[in-house]
Structure 1
């Protein structure tokens, strides 16, 4: 049924009375006209005109009036024109009863015909409306499937709903915090839009307030006593609101209004189809955002985990983690803050967006409000919008930056609260659950710290072992030099002196045996000197690394080409490691490589000592299986250096060592 017909249809009784009156009037008018017509041509023309008038009434007014009018006209033509004619006077009782019966029958038939026509038109209109509604919903569903931007999608929903429902305007709004209504999208006919707003309070008995309160569709057909930003200055006659429910939560409201009269009864039902698509689109968008956020979080955690597994220094890890956290949460500043025992803390890692200057490596007080103090007090993740604190505190520093929202999570190392990871935003609030998402990163920071402590402890232990071994070598060398060597020298001198002089003349055999003993004592003394030299090379102690390497080259069984660019003395552990590296490499080359020549390069570069030994031998060197290279590798790594061997078969061997020139304890 058309909207015009619904609006202008009379009650059944009134409509039948008006149709009966139409029949009576038509009969009376026809009687007057026919009384004064004598020409058949005129009568025929009058009949045609009457027929056209009846058809026009049926077409443009209603068949309920056309049937009694047509029947009354035919009765008048029969009574007053066709013989035998009736006198032009008020009908007598019998004729009046006949006339009334005819007119009543005409009214009833007209009403039945009108009812049938209305049902046919209603069915046609319903079919058309359903088809139009399905087309509109299909267009909206297509936008949902395509994942168009939210602003474009919401504007399309408002336009489709307004056009389909034949209303004067449609507005989509979102509830926020249960107290505010935020404008999302709107469509309206020219001059039919209520005052615009971006954000307003949800209050009173407005449609939006009632929808939020009841969770059901709400209709208001009288807005005279309702004063809200939505209605102020607008002459609204009827307003319908339908809730938009997302995940069992009242996300917003879809409102349609009319400025001319009440909206059709089915408006609420038809609006619901659009709100369901809006809810689906919002749910899909949230799912996509959550999935993308989860993927980004996992990628960030994987990058941090890779860095931690690679043994990066903690200072480097802190800055890297802060950057990953800040970008992931859309924050303006991300900080790794270490607690100190005196009520202060140190910023050990910081990241910020361009234009935000946060002091790095600064000591700040842990006082007042904010995340650092709350995490220190509770030991749990926290979210806050308050950053009050005294001057010089980290909370006050965030307040000066204009922080609006912050989240923090504790960093716990081996059961001890070590520090806190903080992310802060100056504009929009941080995403929901930001404090929980920080926990994954703080676990990796704690792992990095634990690994660094373990590596430091291992390095210190290896340094102590190497130092103890070197000390033992020097003590053995000193004991050999001051003890066994001196006693052997004294014994040889004694044999050559007083013992040989005491031999009686003619005891040539005894003299020869004494000479042989003295010679063997000399050989034993030489062996001891070689052992002492291997334990702690004298050339290294006296002339430095360059002189000691040159001595090794002169003693090598394979020709050696030297490239030594070391001008100063280096720390003793570094020189010892470099010396033993060259010594072990030359020994292995002579024993196993079958090489023609060996190249030895020793140079300093920035804060490192580089030692490279290359030969052109058979290659295939094995650094495992009890090789002396294993001990060298341990010594080098104990000093914080790097050790590598490249030895493909039949392509020679390259041994490369890089040693930091600082003492091992200085790297901690």
Structure 2
């Protein structure tokens, strides 16, 4: 019996250590509980801030009566309420006779007789509870609480890991969003401030040039050269401003921005499948910079003569395929713009795959979710 229990704990521990999604860990824990303990139903529930209890996983007969996502108010005499109020494991035999409250009444409908529960404590707070019970007349054995509790630490670790990963993802997304907003602000300042002032100066020079008497040929020529030089500076500033954050991206969306990017590319670009409709702004910005950085890499490092870009938005995701015919051999681990691309993509919950065999070009495939959720508890609440 002990060997079986230790083997079950090792199996769950391996899932936790490998970063398996919490809901998969929850299901695995309840399967092990149902297989090891003399019970015919088990549930894993989460305490909510509004005083309710949410079922996030079930096993056995509990599946019929407590669908995942269902909620009950706390209160009365029942295991969920007792564990919440005391922070300790609890047990109720003759459950159908002595239980009360919404949770207790719902449990009665299952025919539950003897039951027990242990708290799930995550970083010092009671996150939820694991409960198991039997419909048989005889109470479950006295050592069942301790055996059930042996799984709660693993569940708590899985939840803490997931919350940490989600918090990190949210932090990265906020950093990316703040950087993008800073880019937009700089672009606006350059366009609406510095650039407009330079244009005014250039117009003044042209006016002065036209006002110079015809006999002052050298003066007219010098003013003209200054105006032309200033015009070139304005053009360069416009290019810099566009590189910081293209106004066309904010005003017209991803499609026109990518087409403008392709036209300005130093090497020929074949662009197809760009969505005509607007996408969430963070996705449009990230997709634009993925393409921009890829084109820069192809021109500077790949010695490519052609880049093919395909985009498609369907099934709640945006997919980008960027392929060049260059020398290949790109390795993000060596430190390059590809590292920044991965950070930007993953910060929005996206995936990026880079294939770059030496001598066979580079192929970058990126997939973004079009429904963004960067709340810190997303990972542990996906079954609601």
TM-score by length of 2: 0.87
| Closer, same or farther: CA 380–391 of 1 in aligned 2, 3 Å | closer
CA distance in 1, matches of 2:70, 2:64: 16
- Please show how residues 341-352 of structure 1 align to structure 2 within 5 Å: 341=49, 343-352=51-60
3-state SS in 1 of match to 2:272: strand
Does 2:161 correspond to 1:451?
yes
Residue of structure 2 in register with 1:7 after alignment: none
* 1:292 corresponds to 2:4: yes
Q: Which runs of 5+ in 2 are unaligned?
A: 379-384
Contact 1:619 1:650 in 2 (8 A): yes
Alpha-carbon deviation of 1:573? 0.9
CA distance in 2, matches of 1:658, 1:418: 33
Per mean C-alpha deviation after superposition, the further-off stretch among 646-655 and 471-480 is 646-655
Unpaired segments ≥5 residues, structure 1: 1-288
How far is the alpha carbon of 1:502 from its aligned partner? 5.1
Q: Helix, strand or coil: the match of 1:593?
A: coil
SS state of the match for residue 640, structure 1? coil
1:579 alignment partner, SS class:
helix
The count of residues paired between Structure 1 and Structure 2 equals 374
User: Is the 1:636–1:643 Cα contact (8 Å) retained in structure 2?
Assistant: yes
1:436-585 counterparts in 2 under 5 A? 436-497=146-207, 499-501=208-210, 503-585=212-294
Instruction: Provide Cα deviations, 1:98-129, integer angstroms capped at 9, x if missing partner.
Output: xxxxxxxxxxxxxxxxxxxxxxxxxxxxxxxx
| SS of residue in 1 equivalent to 2:311 | strand
Go from structure 1 to structure 2 and tell me whether the alpha carbon gap of 1:583 and 1:518 turns closer, same or farther (over 3 Å shift): same
> Are residues 1:434 and 2:174 paired?
no
- The one-character-per-residue Cα deviations of 1:231-287 (angstroms, maximum 9, x if unpaired) are xxxxxxxxxxxxxxxxxxxxxxxxxxxxxxxxxxxxxxxxxxxxxxxxxxxxxxxxx
Q: Distance in 1 between matches of 2:94 and 2:168?
A: 44
Match of 2:358 in 1: 649
For 2:301 and 2:90, locate their aligned partners in 1 and report how far apart those are by CA, in whole Å. Answer: 64
Q: Secondary structure at the match of 2:102?
A: coil
Which sits farther off after the overlay, 584-593 or 559-568?
559-568
The answer to whether the 8 Å contact 1:301/1:440 transfers is: no
* Aligned equivalent of 1:193: none
Larger Rg: 1
Give the Å deviation of 1:525: 0.4
Cα deviation code 1:432-486 (max 9, x no counterpart): 6332233333222222332333233323322222222222211211111111111
- 2:381 paired residue number: none
Q: Residue 329 of structure 1 contacts residue 431 of structure 1 at CA under 8 Å; is this kept in 2?
A: no
Matches within 5 A, 1:164-563: 289-306=1-18, 309-310=19-20, 312=21, 314-341=22-49, 343-353=51-61, 356-387=64-95, 388-390=98-100, 392-393=102-103, 395-427=104-136, 430=140, 433-497=143-207, 499-501=208-210, 503-563=212-272
CA displacement at 1:420 relative to structure 2: 0.9
Distance 1:540 1:342, change over 3 A: closer
8 Å Cα contact 2:76-2:102 kept in structure 1: no
SS in 2 for 1:346: strand
